[in-house]
Structure 1
Amino acid sequence: MIAIEHKAHCVLAAVAGEFSLKDYREFEDNVLYELKFHGRPNLLFDLTEMLGYTLDVVWEEIRFSRAHRSDFGRIAVVTTDQWTTWATWVAQLFVDSDVQIFSSAVEAERWLLEAPATA
């Protein structure tokens, strides 16, 4: 399950349970909306409640990131899981964004909101 919020030129997504392809596509739609109407969004993924993900999510994330390589501002990933941290560092190879890992969603959101909006 995914919960998505738009705030100050950011797309904030929190995943609970299994992260499915349907969830990821909902996230994509929200990011594309923000991109179309407000320019390059900052992104937050809170994965602290994620229990797992399907393989098709990984492939879709790579495809989406490559197709939109320069379309994101800052990207914050909230996790305490070492494998998710490692996967995040690998994924940053596909985007031209400042990607940071956080253990706190509050800190991650603060970091995103301090970034100037870019068009």
Structure 2
Amino acid sequence: MVQFIDTGKENLIAARLSGKLDEANLKTIHQRVHQIIDKGQKMDFYFEMEDFEGYTLKGFWEDIKIDAAHINDYGKIAFVGNKKWQEWAAKITDFFTGSEAKYFEMKNKEQAMAWATT
């Protein structure tokens, strides 16, 4: 499930992620991506992952397609979670993209939001 968080920052996609993300969830995020890039802006992300289990196969494929199409439009990506694999996902994202990805523990979510919005 994707629950968007209103931050007031025009180029930030902030969301709480839980359960397994499917194709429909990713298409909802993709719509927000286009709302930002259609204005000529790079987008930043804040993903709070509580009870997040990953993706369905179709959700994972949709995420790959979005990333491949828009990877040069990404700025900062804050991953907030409480599992080691989430920290590794942030490191892999940082390594393979031109964006700056950083992992924060759930207890530091305010710091993560501040980092993503500056």
* TM-score, length-scaled by structure 2: 0.82
Distance in 1 separating the partners of 2:74 and 2:42: 5
Distance in 2 separating the partners of 1:84 and 1:58: 15
Residues 79 and 86 in structure 2, CA contact (< 8 A), matched pair in contact too: no
Matches within 5 A, 1:6-21: 6=6, 7-8=8-9, 9-21=11-23
Matches within 5 A, 1:1-119: 1-6=1-6, 7-8=8-9, 9-37=11-39, 39-103=41-105, 104-114=108-118
- Displacement of 1:41: 1.5
Identity of aligned residues (%): 24
Moved over 6 A (4+): none
Distance in 1 separating the partners of 2:90 and 2:116: 17
Distance in 2 separating the partners of 1:70 and 1:34: 13
| Amino acid paired to 1:12 | A
Distance in 2 separating the partners of 1:29 and 1:35: 10
Distance in 2 separating the partners of 1:61 and 1:93: 17
User: Which ranges of structure 2 fall in alignment gaps of 5 or more residues?
Assistant: none
Go from structure 1 to structure 2 and tell me whether the alpha carbon gap of 1:72 and 1:96 turns closer, same or farther (over 3 Å shift). Answer: same
- Displacement of 1:16: 2.2
How many residues in Structure 1 have an aligned counterpart in Structure 2?
114
Give the stretch that moved more between structures: 58-67 or 98-107.
Answer: 58-67
What RMSD over aligned residues (CA atoms) do the two structures have, in Å?
1.9
- Displacement of 1:100: 0.5
Deviations 1:74-116 (A, max 9, x none): 11111111122223322334421011011132111100112xx
* TM-score, length-scaled by structure 1: 0.82
| Amino acid paired to 2:115 | W
2:62 match: secondary structure: helix
Go from structure 1 to structure 2 and tell me whether the alpha carbon gap of 1:92 and 1:57 turns closer, same or farther (over 3 Å shift). Answer: farther
